[in-house]
Each structure stands twice: as structure tokens, then as C-alpha cells.
Amino acid sequence: MTDLLSVTPDAARTALADWLAGGAGRAGAGHAEPGYRVTQLVPRLWQRPAGSWEEATDLPAALRSQLAAAFPLGRLTLATTQLSRDGTEKFLWKLADGEAIESVLIPEGKRRTLCISSQVGCALGCVFCATGRMGFRRNLRASEIAGQVRELVLREVGAVPTNIVFMGMGEPLLNWDAVDTALTILNHRDGFGIGARHITVSTVGILPSLAQLAKRPEQFRLALSLHAPTAQLRHELMPIEKKYALPDVIQALTQFRRRVTLEYVLIGGKNDSLGQADELAKLARPLGALVNLLPLHPGGAPDLTPSARPRMLAFERRLKRHGVEVVLRRSRGLDISAACGQLRVELEARRKVRPQEHARVE
Ligand code: SAH
Ligand code: SF4
């Protein structure tokens, strides 16, 4: 049976209408007025999410239990939250199979940006990244990606976030099918209705899925994690350079037909010289890209150091002098390790809570 939370709202509507009409002789179906019922049910997926069908008490009891049997609504379980002094809040979610992921809510004036995960861990092993050090565990389903937003709404932590960034755990473009569907759910009027310009996919530049993303008609934003202005240095920091080389990635960005952001984490003595700023400007200017300079979070890489503040400011000034639009970001949520690149679920701690499984394996 269709997992209604892992398909687009349109596909969910079709599956529900079919089921209500008694299509294919499904048990418990054959309801009267399926058209009317569908308009009652679809909003309970995303717009006014129900924790379970049993909780949707505006529906007849018999229908609720049939729905619960046919279309169980999967949940993420909140394991812990941590609130930073600056208002940033980190959520650790347990998934049905015992894996865990994190999301981070960053309030900023009227904006509430939710940073979401797309995979459990990450296979790409960028040297500065805490998630990379976990290694890859598995892809998230669309229900688990969009579910990070759904759970927030269910918990009444507040309304739907105003902005979404795919900058949590994982490489979204290595989980394209689920991310593709999740983008629709986030943006669709029967989903969360978040404007495409307020949804940012961050990637190291996985070329085949980048082409797929570029094909979508909505104006989703793209952030490319660049971090190095030359292929040689990028190779040192990001093993993916071997597979998708810098010139090809930059070439793909010129095909994107939308303004892109280049993410650049400043690492002391590695990529923060003024000569490197000049090189970066040579890439950014023809693209008309916005450069986002980020302080390195040392939690991701004990052997690397963040650039000193004066060095960051000088790097920023140099880019500006080249006519590049640039923003030097502040660190948020540092005290709770909640910034991008800091997300890393402690596997050891998790093993401890599953001692029986261990016993069985041994
Ligand atoms: N895999 C995707 C998205 C998740 S990482 C990507 O790499 O783009 C989200 C952002 O956090 C990326 O720009 C990544 O480079 C950055 N990041 C990773 N480790 C970091 C660290 N230690 N300090 C600051 N930013 C980091
Ligand atoms: Fe993966 Fe992004 Fe971390 Fe690189 S920076 S290891 S791609 S999550």
C-alpha cells in the first residue's frame, strides 16, 4: 500500500481517492462521496498534520481505523532537543529502524529557518565535516525528510518554518528520488506551501542529479559547497573532487539559469589567503554568484583551525573589491554543536540503548 507521506500530495490524493472508491476490491473501501472525503483527508497529511488517523476525530471512527490499517502515518520520535543561548534549537530524531538524524531550527528576526537532513551520515568524507566522519548509514525516505518539518508542526514548536535549507546531515543529491519528492511536499500548496525561493538545496555538485534539479520548473535555490578555488586544493579537502571535477561543476552551474550561492568554509592557513580570494573571485564573478563565507566549526575537524577574524574580514574585503557579492556568516548554535557540519549522531551512545540486538547477533 502507498506510504502517503513518501509520495507527492497529488499522488496521495489519487491513492486515497482510489481506495475510498473501492478500487481494485480493497478491503474496507467503497465509501460514499469519495471526492468529499479526499478533501478532508489530504490536509491531514501536511497542512494540518494528524499524529495518527485515530487523532483525526472529525472523521467517522470506522473510517479512522480503516485508514490506520491501510495507510499508517509514520512518525519520527523526538529523542532530545537542545536550545542554544542564541535561540538556535537542535532536534535529534529517532527513525523507525533505530537510526537517528538531526535538524536545526534557526530563528532570525521574522525568519525561522529549518536545516534538515537528507541521509543518515554521509559517504563523501569532506575532511572538515562531522557528518562525514560518521560515514554513510542509509538514505532517508521522503517521509523522513519532509517529516522533520511535519514533526515540528505537530509539536507546535511554532508554525511552519519560513525557510528550509538542506544543510543538515547527508548529501541531498545522492538521494535524489526522495529529495525530489520532499521538495514537492515542502513547496506544494497541499504540502507545506513554502515558496521555492525559500528552499535551498546544498550540494558538493553531484552532476547527474544537479541536472535533474535544474530541470524542475520551480525556483528552488542552489548552494554549491565549493570551499576551494582550485581543483588541487578541493581534492585535498573534498574527495568527491575525484569524481566530479571543479571545472565540470562550475560548467554545470552556468547551465542552472538561476543565481547560485557558493559556500566557502574558511580554514586557517588552508584556503584563506588573499591569493585564494582572487582565484575564488575568478570563479564567482562570471557566474554572478553570491559567496557565503562560513567560519569553520572546529567540532567537525579537530586537526583544522578556523581562520582568524581579521583574516576572514580581509578575505571578504578582497572579494568585494573584485565586485563579488559576499556575506560573512556568523556562527549560530555553537554551544550546542548545532551548526552545519556539526551534526553527528553519536553512534556509540545509540548502540548502548540497543543491547538486546547486540546479544542476539553475538
Ligand atoms: N552535503 C551537502 C549538504 C550538507 S553539509 C554539502 O556538503 O553541501 C552543509 C554545509 O555545511 C556545507 O556547505 C558544508 O560544507 C558545511 N560544513 C561542513 N562541515 C563544516 C564545518 N566543520 N564548519 C562549517 N561548515 C561546515
Ligand atoms: Fe557530506 Fe556535505 Fe559533510 Fe561533505 S560537507 S561530508 S558532502 S555532509
d(CA 65, CA 23): 19
Q: Which residues are part of the catalytic machinery?
A: 102, 340
Instruction: Please say whether the dihedral angle defined by the alpha carbons of residues 178, 139, 44 and 71, taken in this order, is positive or negative.
Output: positive
Q: Is the CB of 129 under 6 A from ligand 2?
A: yes
Q: Atom 15 (ligand 1): residue with closest C-alpha?
A: 225
Q: Atom 25 (ligand 1): residue with closest C-alpha?
A: 341
Instruction: Specify whether the CB–CB gap between 291 and 280 falls below 8 A.
Output: yes
User: Helical H runs in the chain?
Assistant: 9-20, 34-41, 61-70, 130-134, 142-154, 176-187, 207-215, 231-237, 246-254, 274-287, 309-321, 347-352, 355-361
d(CA 193, CA 310): 41
Query: What is the pTM assigned to this prediction?
Result: 0.93
Q: Atom 4 (ligand 2): residue with closest C-alpha?
A: 126
Q: Which of 2, 47, 88 is nearest to 194 (CA)?
A: 47
Q: What confidence score (pLDDT) does residue 336 get?
A: 60
**Ranges of the chain whose pLDDT falls below 70:** 23-32, 157-158, 332-362
Q: Is the CB of 148 under 6 A from ligand 1?
A: no
* Alpha carbon 67 to chain centroid, angstroms: 29
Specify the pairing of strand 77-83 against strand 290-295.
unpaired
Q: What confidence score (pLDDT) does residue 37 get?
A: 92
Pocket test for ligand 2, best of 120, 175, 225, 227 (most atoms within 8 A of CB): 225
Specify the pairing of strand 136-139 against strand 290-295.
unpaired
Q: Of ligand 1's atoms, which has the minimum distance to the CA of residue 224?
A: 8
Q: Which of 111, 197, 222 is nearest to 162 (CA)?
A: 111
Instruction: Specify whether the CB–CB gap between 221 and 200 falls below 8 A.
Output: yes
d(CA 90, CA 108): 15
Q: Of ligand 1's atoms, which has the minimum distance to the CA of residue 300?
A: 22
Q: b/e map of 218-228 (b: 16 or more CB within 10 Å)?
A: eebbbbbbbbb
- In sequence order, the 6+-apart residues with CB closer than 8 A to the CB of 252 are 205, 207, 210, 211, 214
Q: What confidence score (pLDDT) does residue 24 get?
A: 46
Q: What confidence score (pLDDT) does residue 334 get?
A: 62
Q: What confidence score (pLDDT) does residue 28 get?
A: 52
CB atoms within 10 A of CB 322: 14
Point out the ligand nearest to the CA of residue 131.
2
Q: Atom 6 (ligand 2): residue with closest C-alpha?
A: 132
Q: What confidence score (pLDDT) does residue 352 get?
A: 43
- In sequence order, the 6+-apart residues with CB closer than 8 A to the CB of 248 are 207
Q: How far is CA 165 from CA 50, 170, 222, 285, in A?
A: 24, 12, 10, 24
Distance 181 CA to ligand 1 centre (A): 23
Q: Is the CB of 73 under 6 A from ligand 1?
A: no
DSSP letter at 343? -
Q: Is the CB of 342 under 6 A from ligand 2?
A: no
Distance 265 CA to ligand 1 centre (A): 8
Distance 358 CA to ligand 1 centre (A): 33
Pocket test for ligand 1, best of 167, 221, 240, 305 (most atoms within 8 A of CB): 167
d(CA 248, CA 279): 17
Q: Which residues pair with 89 in a beta bridge?
A: 83, 105
Q: Is the CB of 125 under 6 A from ligand 2?
A: yes
Distance 170 CA to ligand 1 centre (A): 9
